[in-house]
Amino acid sequence: MDTALDVRHALTDDELRRLDAYWRAANYLTVGQIYLLGNPLLREPLTTDDIKPRLLGHWGTSPGLNLVYAHLNRVIVARDLDAMLVTGPGHGGPAIVANTWLEGTWSERYHDVARDEVGMAKLFRQFSFPGGIPSHVAADVPGSIHEGGELGYALSHAYGAAFDHPDLVVACVVGDGEAETGPLAGSWLSNVFLNPARDGAVLPILHLNGYKIANPTVLARIPEADLLDLMRGSGYQPYVVAGDDPAVVHRTLAATMDRALDEIAEIQRRARSGGAAERPRWPMIILRTPKGWTGPNEVDGVQVEGTYRAHQVPLSGVRDNPAHLAELERWLRSYRPEELFDATGAPVDELRTLPPRGDRRMSANPVTNGGVVLRDLALPDFRDYGVVVEEPGQPMAGATGVLGPWIRDVISANPETFRLFGPDEVASNRLGAAFEVTGRAWVAATVPGDDHLSPDGRVMEVLSEHLCQGWLEGYLLTGRHGVFTSYEAFIHIVDSMLNQHAKWLKVTRAIPWRQPIASLNYLLSSHVWRQDHNGFSHQDPGFIDHVVNKKAEVVRVYLPPDANTLLATMDHCLRSRHYINVVVAGKQPAPNWLTMTEAIQHTRRGLGIWEWASNDGGIEPDVVLACCGDVPTLETLAAVELLRQHLPNLRVRLVNVVDLMRLQTDTEHPHGLTDNEFDTIFTQDRPVIFAYHGYPWLIHRLTYRRNNHENLHVRGYKEEGTTTTPFDMVMLNDLDRFHLVIDVIDRVPGLAARAAHLRQRMVDARQAARDYTRRYGEDDPEVAEWRWVRETDPTNP
């Protein structure tokens, strides 16, 4: 620690005594949650009847979290701070629950858990108990935006919360086990994107208690000089607080927090008074305290405190080992609960006056319940940005390129509540129009020739999908809006993060005081079918499958077939609440099929018959050709034209799907079609040839309960790919127009015999197309330049 730091006068003796009492109370409540089923104030000697049948939870990190929480409360009161806490060691759930009960917020959210002896008993009983609450800092916990059960995301969430919240201080406890994860290691550099003139501040607190569940932690064992250099190299001024004497640690931590907050205030003052927009050296704290501090020092002659053995439940045999039960009682009484709680079981007046009041409490800060502060976006009318479609298939335009100007104007209209996130791919995904009004957020050094770097940038680009996802989640959870654009194949990197966010959304739907937040919107481009130079490594549409595994009430998947439909879809997504929306759209020039009016109607329906491409005349067709995704739509329409030319008497119905979840039944997904609606569109007994953007088995999974499932044949990506031309790519996966015609011939009853010559021509056409690409290195112009020609109705020329 900086030797110039004077800790002698950081706290008066009275302040130290009261702060330590508050810490002891939080520790007592933490231990009680892990162990006690009854006798919460130890008014009687402990018996096995007072002990929970299953001892679950994590003690090891909890005393450190209680220490940090108590000290943050002190500075919030002293400075009238707007502050919140992100807890990386999510297993410290009982500690944060204890603090929210002490400061009254838990009882305000859950009226049956009052701040008295009865309420304390309920607080203890509910923890890790059937019908109760999880052991993590879950969504049930007021003030939490981050469960922390899966490690690695605390710091990115904290920075996401700080963006565009200029008065907010986000304290973030990073566990030393969590610090070993890749996402957290990358998160230290988030300060490169934090503008002290307009954003809030993040105060990282690296909590080194030395051990994970069974092993020492890396950052606790490397030389301290190396650790300090690591933090300085990441742009921080580290301050070390270390020890196992509570009085010394209290004084040192108080002085260190005061210094850190003074430095934050000075950094912001300089930036906001016209100072140079440059990357400051932000303070951070390295807190070294024993794992399981104040718990049993030894159990059965083996060291526990300060070792990995304190990680979970230090005394595991209290129900059948009298010595363990006696040690638990000694441990609980060491906190002197009779000094901390009055005759009713409420915290004594001295403790009730220590926390902040009202919204200043970290557990009651409105931004931690983001829906409370969420405001609708000002969205420009997307209809003004569409392409003019005079005939289906014209003009040629890349969908995301058309979307870009609309996103640009969304940014302009919402300068403090909307950001665009992407891993160095915004321009590549044809959203570069955003740079007409903003830059890429950046407060590090710039050099001549840099492109659109700005401290005020609204585009968040960093080559880490984990950081983009974490920042956006933190931004959404604290009441703002955003879009994450990425290459389709590599969005898989955040599969696990999506899991956690989906679970958060699912759980919070059932928590009455949690208000809905803005949806997490993914825009995936550079997709599987157009990786002309990247090839097989960039070909994977499986993120959709992963998303569909989540609860139906929180996931939506859209595959708009053209630019106008993409505009209508994105407008819908940015207006939606509490969903995960996945939108897949191409960036390359492609046909546009629907007028804006048609696109809006089609998007609202989610799927529909394209009458202009069908010739069933409103009666039952011989075959249904269905498509979902821009490239499958193109190939399906080309197949329809071939069928129209060569088999003019075949009644073909074309169905396009935008909202993938419409395929499920209405009993399985809120967007699902009823069986009657599904049968009306897809028929009950006719062959359905379905060209799908992703893995074909997903369509079977979504429709397996439908009446006509046995006649459903799906073409899609089957893990065949390479660096090749667009049409060769679809041929590799049997999704091409020629193969779709073959499928029709093979599956329409009675057609095989009379269409044998056509089938052979389709086989030959596939081979000719492949030969052309191998000879000339590009697709045959007859394929690449194909355009839909509307068939003239002879009765209405």
Q: Range with the lowest mean pLDDT among 86-95, 408-417, 656-665?
A: 86-95
User: Is residue 796 predicted with pLDDT exceeding 70?
Assistant: no
* pLDDT band (50, 70, 90) for residue 790: confident
- Are the beta carbons of 176 and 208 closer than 8 angstroms? yes
Q: How far apart are CA 413 and CA 434, in angstroms?
A: 12
Strands 652-657 and 607-609: antiparallel
* pLDDT band (50, 70, 90) for residue 761: very high
The closest alpha carbon to 671, from 514, 513, 548, belongs to: 548
pLDDT per position as a tens digit, 162-185? 999 999 999 999 999 999 999 999
User: Is residue 792 predicted with pLDDT exceeding 70?
Assistant: no
Radius of gyration of the chain (CA): 31
Q: How far apart are CA 357 and CA 781, in angstroms?
A: 72
pLDDT per position as a tens digit, 137-161? 999 999 999 988 889 999 999 999 9
Is the N-terminal amide bond of 648 cis, ω within 30° of 0?
Answer: no
Q: What is the DSSP string of 627-654?
A: EESHHHHHHHHHHHHHHHHH-TTS-EEE
Looking from the CA of 149 toward its CB, the CA atoms found within 13 Å total 15
Tell me phi and psi for residue 288, to 5 degrees: -110, 110
Q: How far apart are CA 487 and CA 535, in angstroms?
A: 13
Count of CB atoms situated within 10 Å of the CB of 791: 14
pLDDT per position as a tens digit, 574-615? 999 999 999 999 999 999 999 999 999 999 999 999 999 999
Count of CB atoms situated within 10 Å of the CB of 325: 21
pLDDT per position as a tens digit, 290-339? 999 999 999 999 999 999 999 999 999 999 999 999 999 999 999 999 99
Q: How far is CA 203 from the centre of its chain?
A: 22
- Are the beta carbons of 196 and 275 closer than 8 angstroms? no
User: Is residue 261 predicted with pLDDT exceeding 80?
Assistant: yes
pLDDT per position as a tens digit, 43-93? 999 999 999 999 998 999 999 999 999 999 999 999 999 999 999 987 889
